Chains A and B, each alone.
Chain A
């Protein structure tokens, strides 16, 4: 069974540009979560889609937004990139209600120059 898949694996952008990161959950999982892991730091919650609806947002600027699709896949968009947006963006998925826990993808490494 395929795990959570994310693309692209690496992305290099310059300040002011926009980045789009994509995530496909494990088959049967209807909840998708986005976390940011800056170098050497822990994971910070960004966004959560539950059964396709936005359930919760973390404390991040409005230039960071998400989209969800009928098949429960998701996109994370970061506009007007700043240097501090450089991080590993991790997507996770779970069964409804979080049963069984959250399972993470390999992440998308975003570098802003």
Chain B
């Protein structure tokens, strides 16, 4: 089955700097890659997703890149703010089982003022 690895497990950045989280996946048939943000005690919230027919997607300060050949995808957060502090999860699934997301272990991001 699919296996998703996520790095780093913790990331501390100064406010205003950029943060990058990387994930690799094992199943070449995977074609949907969402990212979720989970604040302490809150629900995971979908912040951005990408499908395998594109290599990059951007939404304001966040962007996701996908390298299908290398089977890895990354989340980029620019101009980080304290409210970006949370646990971020990457995930992967494929067309015939889009709801069966395989999640990474998560990255605790701490943005210090």
Contacts and interface: CB of A to CB of B under 8 A. Distances in A.
B101 A43 contact: yes
A105 interface: yes
Given A41-B105, A104-B44, A98 B89 contact: no
Q: Is the interface of A mostly helix, strand, loop or mixed?
A: strand
Q: How large is the interface on A (under 10, 10 to 19, 20 to 34, 35 or more residues)?
A: 20 to 34
A30 to B, nearest CB: 11
Max chain B C-beta neighbours (<10 A), residue from A48, A58, A102, A103: A102
B89 A42 contact: yes
Nearest to A94: B99
Interface of A: 31, 33, 35, 41-45, 48, 50, 55-56, 58, 90, 94, 97-98, 101-107
Interface of B: 32, 34, 36, 42-46, 49, 89, 91, 93, 97-106
Given A42-B89, A102-B99, 9 more contacts: A45-B101, A45-B102, A55-B99, A56-B99, A56-B100, A58-B100, A90-B44, A101-B49, A106-B42
